[in-house]
């Protein structure tokens, strides 16, 4: 197993109180596997990713519990300097907004080459050559000419390719992509996603794909983990989950996708609002919005029930959901 | 001046960019004005962006307006409360100095010149034998008058000119931008020295007039920027699309949103104007006796600072506290109104 | 880039003409340009008319302005009250003020930026709060009060410095006056740096730099500072002109024979030529400094360069 997150808890201390962003997340990724983490904004998926990467702003964030086992080592117990060396070399991250995520005053060549210079002590010239190579690898035309240009001189799709190149630079074992295509035009989204999927196969990397877009997930993911209020509520192989969700929240998500074959019908929407992280409802956090909620959901927190060998659901009524 | 707009749009964050509408002009009046100008630009941004990363949802969504939200914060901010009380006190003694000082600031007794504190005269006497305490109290009136009048003038003139230029754009905007550039090129103290040295009146009005003359461009820039930002808001575009008249859009939609930065800068500017009046009086071109002013008293006492430091320290202290109070007030208001810091 | 420079240069011309015209009008229309020429006494009407004719003061103001500017461009700034050419006064005054300004700028850079970076990285800690409060106090106390107090304490009470600077004004005697001149700007540079650092610290590209596994030192110097200092550098550049214009107060306190001193004398003696001449040069310095800052800005920020 490449990465295993156990019982991870993260909270944010703000002026208005403590926001519990991640409340006991368990997940794992194998080598060469693509795990999609699905959830609304505020479900804790980005915070989980940042906690794994070790780039949370502390304060205001605070990891209050759990383990992040990466290639057998608990990253949360490493010294900061050891931890730093894992970043970039062992695991890398691709962010949503490439324009703001790239340094505006350094050329893309400098920013790509920096990976080699810092982690491998490469000379300026060699690093530059590597940067060109990387840019070619992510299919940026005229890489040699463009290596000295600045981020604002590239188009959105090209910038995201540069982000991908930067993540690939040291051929890490795991890549975390946080909504990598959300900020792009629809036509470019598919290209960038395909590129990412190709490269992932080529390098046999683990990939955590964080998204709220169910369409993206279906194409590239092997497995899905659905998050709600800072917890994983369902995890399953992608096709099983699409065929028959085992959690009412997943079901709601799937039903709220517009579909051509149901033209004319009213779109389904999950009732209610996402939970306030300062005051997460007791029991199952989803119960105020759940059509199946019973008394037990209001008082007891459901554990992860084993649906099948590869599937888990955090719902007392997973059977009813699965077959209903 | 569409071409100079570009840098500002590209600029990532507050601070200054030359060539942009939001440039920090070092005015020579001192950093406070620059402080006001640059920090207020952050207020031009629309509110409503959620807090830290991964914290969407955030605090419970009670709908509160920017202003009531700010007031809610301000009442709990000790800096605001203290500076507010100091200012209240200053205004009070500016209006009725006799409340706490029974003497006459102009009745002096040369025999007592430079004497230290004695019963009934806690701050001692100045070089002319006048009671320093009484003069310090009465000095507040001049300072507050100059500060308030100059600020009102600057705020009115600057926000009307800047606001209209920002709203209508085009040739007027271009002309106004060049005119403000001209005024920015003249260091304030220098301009005051040149202009006021030819004035013989001993009232406060030439000083106030000069401050308005050289001060309005600063506010006009802020107002222009704020109006341009507000103009781009979707609801303003929507109102325009629905056929609302220019006047209506300007009054109902833009003014309420553009006024926050102007108020903050004006508050801080009030403090700087008081300091500027004292500086000009110190240089001998501001107010002239028989006006009672802290600047005049400090200037008159500074040659004797060695033997009778109390003659300088009391008016100087009063001056510093007054300016500090206004700047802190402006700073606190800015913090409260700045949606980014929530 | 070349077009940018030319455009900025062209924009400078009307501003320069406008600002000098404004000063010219202030002095010539509102004041009495011959008042200072008859010494302490009032000029009698006949002499005044004679003098006015001699200096071309009977002509319309715009014509006077054009003549004056024409002279200025040939290097003729007229004569001062004691018959010395104004250019000669400038020759002795500007080096002194430039030295004073250099001292002030160095203080701004060294102390201001250091404090700003330290507080920006430690936002909300006691050190930050203290420095922030001190900067507000420094900004609030007018320069002439700060100057008088420092002179009293360091010069008179403790005898660390000489209370007034000798006519040559060497660098070491200008340290304290330079600090006084810089004080307000210094406080402002601190605040500006702090805000800029604190703001950029949360920027996405800093997060990227951390995610790349760069050492903290490198994240700060190469990514955070490089971006955060752009507005600070431009402010300091713009401040050069303002400091030279504002030096008048400091020079008066410490009796420094620089630009401010000459200007002050010119105003006291109502010598139009000196005043207009010095102010014209100061305006020019201010505008050139601004131009250089704009170019520097373009060098530092590629987004401007390629816009």
* Mean pLDDT computed over A304-323: 85
Work out whether strand A206-211 and strand A174-178 pair parallel, antiparallel, or are unpaired: parallel
Q: By C-alpha distance, which of C72, C204, C188, C91 is closest to B16?
A: C188
Task: Judge: C185–B31 Cβ closer than 8 Å, yes or no.
Answer: yes
Domain C90-304: state its class: mainly alpha
Considering only the beta carbons, identify the residue of A17, A46, A274 that sits closest to B57: A274
Which of C211, C218, C226 is the closest to A87 by Cβ? C211
- Flag whether A60 is in a domain: yes
SS3 A187: helix
Strands of A186-314 (E only): list them: 206-211, 223-228, 231-237, 305-308, 311-313
Q: Are residues A177 and A245 in the same domain?
A: no
Domain check: are A159 and A203 in the same one?
Answer: yes
Chain A contact present for B12, CB below 8 A? yes
What is the spatial distance between Cα C285 and Cα B92, in angstroms, rounded to a whole number? 44
Q: What is the separation of C-alpha B33 from the centre of its chain, rounded to a whole number of angstroms? A: 7
Return the bridge partners of A311, or none.
A308
Chains with ≥3 CB–CB distances under 8 Å to A: B, C
Decide: C163 and C84 in contact? Cβ < 8 Å: no
For β-strands A206-211 and A34-38, DSSP reports them as parallel
Q: Looking at the complex, does the CB of residue C214 fall below 8 Å from at least one CB of chain A? A: yes
Cα nearest neighbour of C264 on chain B: B193
Can you tell me the mean pLDDT for C19-28?
A: 80
Beta bridge partners of A93: A176
Indicate the helix (H) or strand (E) that contains A36. Answer: strand A34-38
Q: Do A118 and C214 touch (CB under 8 A)?
A: yes
pLDDT, position C38: 58
CB A208 within 8 A of CB A49: yes
Tell me whether A186 touches chain C (CB under 8 Å): no
* Residue B68 C-alpha, separation from nearest chain A C-alpha, in angstroms: 17
Residue A87 lies in a domain: yes
The rounded distance, in Å, linking the Cα atoms of B284 and B292 is 13
CA distance C175 to C76: 34
Terminal Cα distance for chain C, rounded: 9
pLDDT tens digits along A103-162 = 988 899 999 999 899 888 889 999 999 899 989 988 888 888 898 899 988 888 889 889
Q: Are residues A179 and A283 in the same domain?
A: no
pLDDT the model gives residue B25 = 37
Q: Does residue A245 carry a pLDDT above 50?
A: yes
C267 touches chain B (CB under 8 A): yes
* Pairwise CB contact (< 8 Å): A153 & C306: yes
Task: Report the alpha-carbon angle C26-C30-C35, nearest 5.
Answer: 110
Backbone φ and ψ for C294, nearest 5 degrees, come out as -60, -40
- Give the residue with greater pLDDT, B99 vs B226: B226
CA closest to A115 among chain C residues: C212
Beta bridge partners of A225: A37, A235
Quote the CA–CA distance of C196 and B270 in Å, as a whole number. 25
pLDDT tens string B261-310: 888 888 888 888 988 888 888 888 878 777 788 888 888 888 887 777 78
Pair A235, A200 in one domain? no
Domains of chain B (ranges plus CATH)?
A: 99-337 (1.10.3720.10)
Which residues span the domain enclosing A94? 1-30+42-221
* Residue boundaries of the structural domains of chain C: 1-74, 90-304
Select from A57, A276, A278 the Cβ nearest to the Cβ of B53: A57
Residue A156 parent element (H or E): helix A156-168
A278 Cα to chain B: minimum distance (Å)? 7
- pLDDT of res. B38: 54
Inspect the interface and report whether the beta carbons of B52 and A14 lie closer than 8 Å.
yes
DSSP per residue, B266-324: HHHHHHHHHHHHHHHHHTTSS--TTS--HHHHHHHHGGGTTT-THHHHHHHHHHHHHHH
Does residue A184 lie in a domain region? yes
Same domain, A142 and A111: yes
Answer whether B31 sits within 8 Å of C139, measured CB to CB: yes
Task: Kindly give the pairing relationship between strand A231-237 and strand A311-313.
Answer: antiparallel
Backbone angles phi, psi at C124, to 5 degrees: 90, -15
Q: Are residues A213 and A315 in the same domain?
A: no
Tokens of B24: 């920090």
Q: Same domain for A318 and A285?
A: yes
**Do A191 and A301 belong together in one domain?**
no
Asked if B53's CB is within 8 angstroms of A46's CB, the reply is yes
Q: Do A93 and C211 touch (CB under 8 A)?
A: yes
Residues of B with CB below 8 A from C279's CB?
186, 190, 194
Please state the ipTM of this predicted complex: 0.86
A57: domain CATH number?
3.40.50.300
A292 domain-assigned: yes
pLDDT higher than 60, residue B45: no
The crossing angle, in degrees rounded to 10, of helices B31-41 and C126-140 is: 120
CA distance C277 to C299: 33
Nearest-Cα distance to chain B for A123, in Å, is 32
On whether the CB atoms of residues C196 and B15 are closer than 8 A, the answer is yes
Q: Are residues A183 and A217 in the same domain?
A: yes
Shortest distance between the Cα of C146 and any Cα of chain B, in A, equals: 9
What is the average per-residue pLDDT within A305-317? 86
Chain B CA closest to residue A104:
B12
Q: Are A236 and A299 found together in one domain?
A: yes
Judge residue B75's burial from the number of C-beta atoms within 10 Å of its C-beta, 0-12 exposed, 13-18 middle, 19 or more buried.
exposed
Residue A141 falls within a domain, yes or no?
A: yes
Q: Do A279 and B59 touch (CB under 8 A)?
A: no
> For the residues B190-201, what does the mean pLDDT come to?
79
CB contacts < 8 A (B, C): 216
Res B66 pLDDT > 90: no
Number of folded domains that form chain A: 2
Q: Where are the alpha helices (DSSP H) in chain C?
A: 2-25, 45-54, 61-73, 86-107, 114-121, 126-140, 143-150, 175-201, 204-211, 216-218, 226-253, 259-268, 272-300, 302-305
Q: For the residues B51-56, what does the mean pLDDT come to?
A: 36
Residues of C in contact with B298 (CB under 8 A): 144-145, 148
Are A247 and A213 members of one domain?
no
Q: Which two tokens stand for residue C246?
A: 């504002």
A202 and A301 within one domain: no
């Amino acid at each position: 197993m490449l990465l295993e997150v156990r019982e991870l808890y993260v909270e944010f201390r703000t002026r208005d109180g403590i926001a519990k962003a991640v409340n006991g997340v368990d997940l794992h990724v194998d080598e060469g596997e693509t795990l999609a983490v699905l959830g609304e904004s505020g479900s804790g998926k980005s915070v989980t990713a940042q906690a794994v990467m070790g780039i949370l702003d502390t304060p205001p964030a605070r990891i209050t519990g759990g383990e992040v086992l990466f290639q057998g080592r608990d990253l949360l117990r490493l010294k900061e300097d050891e931890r730093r060396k894992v970043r970039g070399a062992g695991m890398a991250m691709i962010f949503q907004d490439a324009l703001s995520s790239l340094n505006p005053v350094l050329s893309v060549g400098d920013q790509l080459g920096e990976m080699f210079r810092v982690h491998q002590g490469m000379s300026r010239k060699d690093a530059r050559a590597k940067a060109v190579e990387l840019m070619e690898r992510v299919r940026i035309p005229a890489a040699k000419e463009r290596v000295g240009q600045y981020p604002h001189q590239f188009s959105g799709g090209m910038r995201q390719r540069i982000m991908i190149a930067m993540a690939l630079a040291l051929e890490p074992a795991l890549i975390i992509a946080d909504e990598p295509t959300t900020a792009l035009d629809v036509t470019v989204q598919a290209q960038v996603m395909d590129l990412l999927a190709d490269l992932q196969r080529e390098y046999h990397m683990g990939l955590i794909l964080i998204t709220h877009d169910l369409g993206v997930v279906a194409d590239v993911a092997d497995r899905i983990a659905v998050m709600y209020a800072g917890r994983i509520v369902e995890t399953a192989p992608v096709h099983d989950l699409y065929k028959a969700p085992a959690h009412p929240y997943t079901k709601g998500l799937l039903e709220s996708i517009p579909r051509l074959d149901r033209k004319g019908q009213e779109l389904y929407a999950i009732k209610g609002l996402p939970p306030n992280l300062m005051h997460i409802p007791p029991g199952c956090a989803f119960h105020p919005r759940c059509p199946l909620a019973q008394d037990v959901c209001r008082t007891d927190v459901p554990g992860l029930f084993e649906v099948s060998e590869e599937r888990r659901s955090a719902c007392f009524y997973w059977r009813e959901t699965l077959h209903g | 001046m569409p071409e100079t707009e570009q840098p500002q749009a590209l600029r990532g964050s507050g601070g200054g960019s030359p060539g942009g509408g939001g440039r920090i002009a070092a005015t020579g009046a001192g950093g406070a004005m620059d402080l006001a100008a640059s920090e207020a630009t952050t207020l031009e941004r629309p509110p409503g962006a959620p807090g830290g990363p991964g914290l969407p949802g955030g605090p419970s969504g009670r709908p509160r307006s920017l202003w009531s939200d700010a007031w809610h914060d301000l009442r709990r901010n000790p800096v605001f409360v203290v500076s507010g009380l100091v200012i209240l006190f200053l205004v009070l003694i500016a209006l009725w100095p006799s409340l706490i000082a029974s003497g006459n600031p102009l009745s002096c007794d040369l025999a007592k010149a430079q004497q230290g504190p004695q019963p009934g005269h806690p701050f001692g006497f100045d070089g002319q034998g006048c009671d320093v305490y009484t003069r310090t109290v009465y000095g507040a009136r001049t300072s507050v008058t100059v500060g308030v009048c100059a600020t009102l003038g600057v705020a009115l003139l600057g926000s009307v000119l800047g606001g209209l230029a920002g709203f209508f754009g085009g040739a007027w905007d271009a002309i106004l931008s060049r005119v403000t550039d001209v005024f920015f090129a003249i260091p304030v103290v220098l301009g005051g020295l040149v202009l006021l040295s030819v004035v013989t009146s001993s009232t406060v009005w030439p000083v106030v007039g000069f401050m308005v003359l050289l001060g309005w461009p600063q506010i006009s820039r802020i107002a222009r920027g704020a109006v341009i930002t507000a103009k781009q808001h979707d609801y303003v575009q929507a109102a325009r699309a629905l056929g609302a008249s220019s006047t209506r859009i300007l009054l109902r939609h833009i003014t309420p949103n553009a006024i926050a930065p102007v108020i903050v800068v004006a508050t801080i500017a009030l403090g700087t104007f008081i300091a500027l009046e004292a500086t000009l009086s110190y240089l001998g071109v501001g107010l002239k006796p028989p006006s009672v002013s802290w600047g005049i008293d400090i200037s008159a006492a500074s040659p004797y600072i060695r033997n009778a430091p109390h003659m300088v320290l009391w008016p100087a202290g009063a001056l510093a506290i007054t300016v500090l109070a206004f700047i802190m007030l402006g700073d606190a208001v800015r913090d409260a109104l700045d949606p980014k810091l929530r | 880039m070349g077009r940018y420079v030319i455009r900025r240069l062209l924009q400078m011309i009307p501003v320069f003409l406008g600002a000098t015209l404004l000063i010219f009008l202030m002095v010539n229309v509102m004041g009495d340009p011959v008042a200072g020429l008859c010494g302490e006494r009032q000029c009698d009407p006949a002499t005044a008319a004679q003098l006015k004719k001699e200096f071309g003061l009977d002509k319309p103001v715009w014509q006077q302005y054009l003549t004056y500017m024409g002279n200025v461009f040939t290097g003729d700034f007229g004569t001062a009250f004691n018959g010395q050419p104004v250019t000669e006064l400038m020759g002795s005054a500007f080096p002194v003020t430039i030295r004073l300004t250099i001292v002030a700028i160095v203080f701004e850079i060294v102390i201001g930026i250091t404090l700003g970076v330290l507080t920006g990285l430690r936002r909300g800690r006691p050190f930050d709060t203290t420095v922030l409060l001190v900067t507000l106090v420094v900004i609030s106390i007018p320069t002439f009060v700060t100057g008088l107090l420092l002179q009293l304490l360091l010069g008179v009470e403790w005898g660390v410095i000489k209370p007034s600077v000798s006519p040559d004004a060497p660098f070491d005697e200008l340290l304290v006056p330079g600090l006084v001149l810089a004080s307000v700007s210094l406080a402002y540079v601190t605040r500006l740096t702090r805000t800029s650092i604190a703001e950029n610290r949360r920027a996405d590209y800093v997060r990227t730099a951390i995610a790349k596994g760069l050492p903290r030192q490198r994240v700060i110097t190469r990514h955070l500072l490089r971006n955060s200092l752009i507005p600070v550098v431009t402010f300091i550049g713009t401040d050069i002109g303002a400091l030279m214009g504002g030096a008048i107060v400091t020079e008066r306190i410490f009796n420094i024979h620089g630009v401010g001193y000459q200007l002050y004398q010119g105003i006291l003696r109502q010598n139009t030529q000196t005043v207009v001449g010095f102010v014209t040069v100061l305006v020019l310095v201010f505008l050139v400094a601004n131009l250089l800052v704009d170019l520097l800005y373009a060098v530092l920020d590629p987004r401007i360069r390629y816009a």
